[in-house]
Amino acid sequence: MEFSQREHVANFSTSREMWDCLHKLHITQRQAVNIHYYYQDLYAKKWDKHTIMSDHIGYFLNLRCHIIEAGEKLNDIHVVHAILLSLSRLSIWDVVKQNLLDKGKALTLDMVSAKLISVYDCNEHDQVIEETEKKTKAEQLALFAKTTGSSGNSAKKNKKGKLVDKSKKPKVWPPGTQCNICEQEGHWSPECPNKLTKGKDGAS
């Protein structure tokens, strides 16, 4: 028996009475320690962006139940402020907290919980849409790069150093097309293959 416990059992005459007193004293001391750490968790808990807001609020409600069950009185306003203090310093949460605190009304646990969950759900919805749009845009850019890359590979330089796209289909001339130079059908004089040959023969 510890020295601090003797004063509590000094007046008891039976071991049963002494044991009941020590057992009650032990439970009381343990509850006091538990309450201390419950309060520590209450004000030290921080919201993680990967945690759903309803689960985050549920953590505080669970702590509230533990504190009350341990025999401590806890007003809802303390839980409300603990939840608001746990939010990260993002602009969206700063605006929400400012709106709640500026209303001049008494904050209730149900009011604050409903507001935070509503804002979180809307923000999550917007983020899903934004991520979907980014993914779609990235896929379109990748497809465009792949298409332009494949067409670029088909372009090669000819003997004069000009780019010639081999992917282009050969020109189809209308029926009855006749060249004025070689008088053959199938092309016009600007595209005549014998044009250069005749020019060289004339020069010689």
Cβ atoms of 24 and 41 closer than 8 Å: no
| Domain locations along the chain | 45-147, 169-204
Mean pLDDT for each 10-residue chunk of the chain (204 residues)? Answer: 51 66 62 81 90 93 90 90 90 88 82 92 75 75 73 53 57 75 80 67 49
- Owner of token pair 């749009």: 133
Query: How many Cβ atoms sit within 10 Å of the Cβ of residue 86?
Result: 19
Positive or negative: CA dihedral 41, 46, 49, 53: positive
pLDDT at 7: 54
Side chain identity, residue 31: Q
Q: What pLDDT is attached to residue 183?
A: 80
CA distance 121 to 130: 14
Question: What's residue 53's pLDDT?
Answer: 93
For the stretch 96-147, pLDDT in tens is 988 888 876 788 999 999 999 999 988 876 766 666 777 777 777 877 777 7
pLDDT of residue 155: 52
Helix-strand-coil split of the chain, %, nearest 5: 65, 5, 30
CA distance 191 to 176: 16
